[in-house]
Structure 1
Amino acid sequence: MKKLFFSFFISTLSPFIITASPSLEIIPIKALIIGPESTSITRLTNLKEAVEILNKSLLKENKKIELKGEFFTGTHEDFRRRFILAFESQQAEDILLIGHEDISRLASQGFLADLTPYLKNDPKNFKDFFPSLWDSVKYKNKIYGIPQDTEVRMFYYRKDVLKALGWPDSKINAFPSEVEKGKITLFDIVKIAVEAQNKGLVKWGIYHRPTPGSNFFHFITSFQGVFEDQKNNHLVIDQKALLAVFNFFYELVHVQKVMPKEMIDLGWEVMDRAIPHKEILFNITGGSWNKMEYIKDQGMSEKDFNEKVGFCLIPSGIKGGKPTTLSHPLVYIVNNKSLQKNIIFKLLMKATDPDHDIKHAFASSHLAVRKSTSKMPSYQKDPFLTKATQFLKYTCFIPNHIDTVFFQNMLFEAIRSVESGRLSPQQALEQFTAEMKKMSGKKEILVK
């Protein structure tokens, strides 16, 4: 995740319950939220609005919530270190918003409140969330998080560059469906990018994100590989698929020369502007949220985006193969030490209700987490959100495993080593396998 850049505070309060008057009990709740990107301040402002709504009913009981909410503005890795240390020192906030993959690590150590009983007592809300999202927040069949948002990963491309290559509108418009049918593969993407670069239509044909992230998992599935054994909760090293992934990135940099070998060092500022400013043809590690970032941060109009930028599923690496995508839900978790779990649960249900869910979707181009949100007329009339939502039938999640983050970082380092020329694809595979075995041990990882 990119370096994030501003903080946001909502009120201040004592860490203890205090009494504003003899009859009014003040309930302090602290929240720490990852982010925000400029488009995603609703991750915290929705909480603030939920407090205001909930307080109207709580005042009848002579109670009032006061929320102290803060955005953490560093990287995901910095945030992870921050909240793990806070939990270990028993200083963690009541509510945190984290990536779902960290639940296993925190729940296994008893840091998180089991939300299963609360959800069983609230079947209406439970059933309104898309069922697959509950799978992403489970550890040993118990639910430890409330989904706040989700998305799909995708390729972005410049339609006007394809037009300049001589493509007719019919071919450009059919491009996403050709990817979906398996007629266009990753290697076809490379050929198109090479042509655009050689003709001087773009600076580079292809870019990918410059930091570790879950996007790189979907290249494993593009080559018909797997990265987890869900039944036994094991990570999987699929050597055939991984070697194909490393060969693909080697091809991009060293054979076709369609991506710079210093891709990792370019940084997010270069990456974020590349599609909006027509510096590349393909962003191969995009996500649905990029749409609103291109508009709000990079100055594209909605009209320009719709006319000049296209998006599609992640193509298969094999002709006739299935395309893929991946979703990475961000989820609210509750500190097991909190004394206000019941009220916090009600607060989180309100902060993720359809009205707040759709507000976040429109502001950030994330997808709805609730069925009722996706059925709202305004949501269904949005062409980008409705098309991106259709991609969910191809999605998967990264494993909710204690070593997933290590797997993700080692995968990124292997790709970096191949791109820089330090290691061959085969050497990168051998090093990746050795590092994963060393970390997880034979009982925790399968080599396929």
Structure 2
Amino acid sequence: MTGLMGLRRMPRRLRFGCAVLVCLSLVVSALTGCATRSSDPKVITYWTTITDPITMKAWDQIIAGFEKANPGYRVNLLPKPTIGTGDATDLITAVRGHTGPDVYLVDRFTTAQYAATGILTDLQPYVNKSPGMSSNYLKFAWDEGAYRGDSYGIPNDSDSRALFYNKTLLRKAGINPDILSPTHGPPTVSELMKLNAKLNRTKNGAYTQIGLIPWLTQGFWSTWTLENGATFFDNKTCSLDLLSKPIVDAFTEEAAWAKELNYSKVAAFIATYQPPGAPPNQSIFLDSNEAMSIDGNFSIASLQQYKPDLDYGVTYLPVLKKGDPPFTWSGGFAYVIPKYAANPDGGWKFIQYASGPQGQKIYATVTKHLPTYKSLLDDPAVTKDQKFFADALKYSTSRPPLPVNAQMQNAMSNAETAVLSGAATPRQALQSVEKQTEPNLEQYCPFTIPKPPTADR
């Protein structure tokens, strides 16, 4: 028992890295690495795909709160960072080998795909035992975790997107920051591109400062296609509509911006000041190399931790035409129970706490994400520093819950790069996405999705 007691005293994140000698003292199976599953109904294995230091702090506090509220239970936390939205390699491998965790954190809009492929447990039987549970959550977030009418993912956080601007850089360029105040309504992309003429700086032909890169951070294809009213799917034909006008127009606009700024020069600038794998305290906006950035409320925690003295403001996302109404979109993550989990009942117990008011309050407060538990949106302690983003949920939309979302996300990102670099026209790039994705979609037809949802406060 000495080995087991030693493991229990270890820090939560180290329990899975148990020493070889301890493994040898337990069972022969430990020779392959200490098991991540337990037959103990009070031991819960949780894999998280978000592993940055700020979020890990939140997980530790949530788990501590759960264990205090549920004496005798223990949650083993295992960080499982992924290389992209559609990457579930570790989870798929574990489920196939019946060695998956009891709870897994998934990018919520990919829930339908993972449910469709059979690697998730249908949570509807659990939900049915808690009448009215869904009414506690933002409707779009709850719907995003469903597939064919059943719940497979319980919402955790949400977010909304806006334009951040560096007041100091604007002043240095002779621009009054007040022109971007939200009291003036949403700015247009063309207005911001005109500001670039005053904000862009070069040395020996290379950028050293840029006003705005419209396709960077959260200014990617999802933002511009959703703003145009894209639905991505035709309910009547049960097929993708990626060549619809809203999507083609959005990619055409991006191509024009890339040409205006010189995509290759911008790519070199990004590689210099925000290279792949850069630590969270290094970004072109944090380091005042970019005057404006399209980002989400989730970036506030980094701003407060790494650049507390940065003089910045927040306003609406830029719109395409003057007078267009404010627009934003929301995403977030969900807790799921993989198929063949060793302890699904324990996993559900943890999900109820983590996704409930106590867990979400901790998560939202620490990470500066927005809660999906509706009553928390009226708690000033939760929405502190985030009121603008919380209010934006009134007019927010989200991506449709398609059973090919993870695959489509990656294909659309590749298509966007091809368009920005001039390697393909918008139609050519989008046709390629349809060709890659449509065959996989067909196997799930017929099905329908709701109209593009608006967050229901």
TM-score bucket (shorter structure): 0.7 to 0.9
Instruction: Give CA deviations for 1:338-394 in whole Å, capped at 9, x if unaligned.
Output: 3543333222222233233222212211001212222224235x2x31111111123
Q: Residues 264, 91 of structure 1: CA spacing in aligned structure 2 closer, same or farther, 3 A cutoff?
A: farther
Structure 1 counterpart of 2:254, which letter?
Answer: F
Deviation, 1:37, is: 1.9
Query: Paired residue for 1:95, among 91, 103, 111?
Result: 103
Structure 2 counterpart of 1:411, which letter?
Answer: M
Aligned counterparts of 2:64 and 2:95: Cα–Cα separation in 1: 27
Q: 1:337 aligned to 2:337?
A: no
Query: Paired residue for 2:213, among 203, 207, 216?
Result: 207
Corresponding position of 2:379? 376
Instruction: Give CA deviations for 1:289-316 in whole Å, capped at 9, x if unaligned.
Output: 11112232xx211xx34xx222233322
Q: Residues 433, 321 of structure 1: CA spacing in aligned structure 2 closer, same or farther, 3 A cutoff?
A: farther
Q: Residues 11, 420 of structure 1: CA spacing in aligned structure 2 closer, same or farther, 3 A cutoff?
A: same
Q: 1:138 aligned to 2:142?
A: no
Aligned counterparts of 1:264 and 1:433: Cα–Cα separation in 2: 30
Corresponding position of 1:61? none
Equivalent position SS for 1:278: coil
Deviation, 1:98, is: 0.7
Instruction: Give CA deviations for 1:57-113 in whole Å, capped at 9, x if unaligned.
Output: xxxxxxx32322101134235851211222223221111011112322232244322
Deviation, 1:41, is: 1.3
- Whether the 8 Å CA contact 2:45–2:102 is kept in 1: the answer is yes
Corresponding position of 2:307? 300
Structure 2 counterpart of 1:235, which letter?
Answer: L
Q: 1:33 aligned to 2:48?
A: yes
What percentage of aligned pairs have identical amino acids? 18
Equivalent position SS for 2:399: coil
Aligned counterparts of 2:239 and 2:314: Cα–Cα separation in 1: 33
- Whether the 8 Å CA contact 2:166–2:312 is kept in 1: the answer is yes
Structure 2 counterpart of 1:149, which letter?
Answer: D
- Whether the 8 Å CA contact 1:151–1:366 is kept in 2: the answer is yes
- Whether the 8 Å CA contact 1:49–1:351 is kept in 2: the answer is no
Aligned counterparts of 1:83 and 1:350: Cα–Cα separation in 2: 23
Aligned counterparts of 1:30 and 1:399: Cα–Cα separation in 2: 30
Unaligned runs of 5+ residues in structure 1 are: 1-6, 19-25, 57-63
Q: 1:53 aligned to 2:68?
A: yes
Aligned counterparts of 2:140 and 2:255: Cα–Cα separation in 1: 35
Q: Residues 353, 413 of structure 1: CA spacing in aligned structure 2 closer, same or farther, 3 A cutoff?
A: same
Q: 1:313 aligned to 2:316?
A: yes
Deviation, 1:153, is: 2.4
CA RMSD of superposed structures (Å): 3.4
Corresponding position of 1:287? 296
Instruction: Give CA deviations for 1:10-66 in whole Å, capped at 9, x if unaligned.
Output: 645863435xxxxxxx6322111102122211553244224413433xxxxxxx323
Equivalent position SS for 1:283: strand
- Whether the 8 Å CA contact 1:43–1:148 is kept in 2: the answer is no
Q: 1:242 aligned to 2:247?
A: yes
Q: Residues 170, 282 of structure 1: CA spacing in aligned structure 2 closer, same or farther, 3 A cutoff?
A: closer
Deviation, 1:136, is: 1.0
Q: Residues 223, 101 of structure 1: CA spacing in aligned structure 2 closer, same or farther, 3 A cutoff?
A: closer
Aligned counterparts of 1:400 and 1:311: Cα–Cα separation in 2: 29
Aligned counterparts of 1:216 and 1:42: Cα–Cα separation in 2: 31
Corresponding position of 2:396? 395
Unaligned runs of 5+ residues in structure 2 are: 1-10, 17-33, 449-457
- Whether the 8 Å CA contact 2:165–2:314 is kept in 1: the answer is yes
Structure 2 counterpart of 1:345, which letter?
Answer: W
Corresponding position of 1:3? none
Corresponding position of 1:273? 283
Corresponding position of 1:326? 329
- Whether the 8 Å CA contact 1:202–1:279 is kept in 2: the answer is yes
- Whether the 8 Å CA contact 1:196–1:281 is kept in 2: the answer is yes
Equivalent position SS for 2:390: helix
Query: Paired residue for 1:350, among 350, 353, 358?
Result: 353
Equivalent position SS for 2:409: helix
Instruction: Give CA deviations for 1:257-282 in whole Å, capped at 9, x if unaligned.
Output: 48714578543539952112210122
Q: 1:260 aligned to 2:266?
A: yes
Q: 1:9 aligned to 2:16?
A: no
- Whether the 8 Å CA contact 2:243–2:431 is kept in 1: the answer is no
Q: Residues 268, 325 of structure 1: CA spacing in aligned structure 2 closer, same or farther, 3 A cutoff?
A: farther
Q: Give TM-score scaled by structure 1 length.
A: 0.80
Q: 1:225 aligned to 2:230?
A: yes
Structure 2 counterpart of 1:134, which letter?
Answer: W
Correspondences of 1:90-169 after superposition (within 5 Å): 90-123=98-131, 125-168=133-176
- Whether the 8 Å CA contact 2:62–2:359 is kept in 1: the answer is no
- Whether the 8 Å CA contact 2:112–2:147 is kept in 1: the answer is yes
Deviation, 1:197, is: 1.1
Query: Paired residue for 1:197, among 197, 200, 218?
Result: 200
Structure 2 counterpart of 1:17, which letter?
Answer: S
Q: Residues 261, 277 of structure 1: CA spacing in aligned structure 2 closer, same or farther, 3 A cutoff?
A: closer
Q: Residues 170, 79 of structure 1: CA spacing in aligned structure 2 closer, same or farther, 3 A cutoff?
A: closer
Aligned counterparts of 1:92 and 1:209: Cα–Cα separation in 2: 36
Structure 2 counterpart of 1:120, which letter?
Answer: N
Q: Give TM-score scaled by structure 2 length.
A: 0.78
Query: Paired residue for 2:366, among 346, 363, 368?
Result: 363
Q: Residues 409, 115 of structure 1: CA spacing in aligned structure 2 closer, same or farther, 3 A cutoff?
A: same
Instruction: Give CA deviations for 1:413-433 in whole Å, capped at 9, x if unaligned.
Output: 122112223224454344444
Q: Residues 325, 99 of structure 1: CA spacing in aligned structure 2 closer, same or farther, 3 A cutoff?
A: same
Q: Residues 411, 126 of structure 1: CA spacing in aligned structure 2 closer, same or farther, 3 A cutoff?
A: closer
Deviation, 1:396, is: 2.1
- Whether the 8 Å CA contact 1:158–1:282 is kept in 2: the answer is yes
Aligned counterparts of 2:317 and 2:76: Cα–Cα separation in 1: 40
Aligned counterparts of 1:445 and 1:65: Cα–Cα separation in 2: 40
- Whether the 8 Å CA contact 1:133–1:369 is kept in 2: the answer is yes
- Equivalent residues, number: 411
- Whether the 8 Å CA contact 2:122–2:152 is kept in 1: the answer is yes
- Whether the 8 Å CA contact 1:264–1:416 is kept in 2: the answer is no
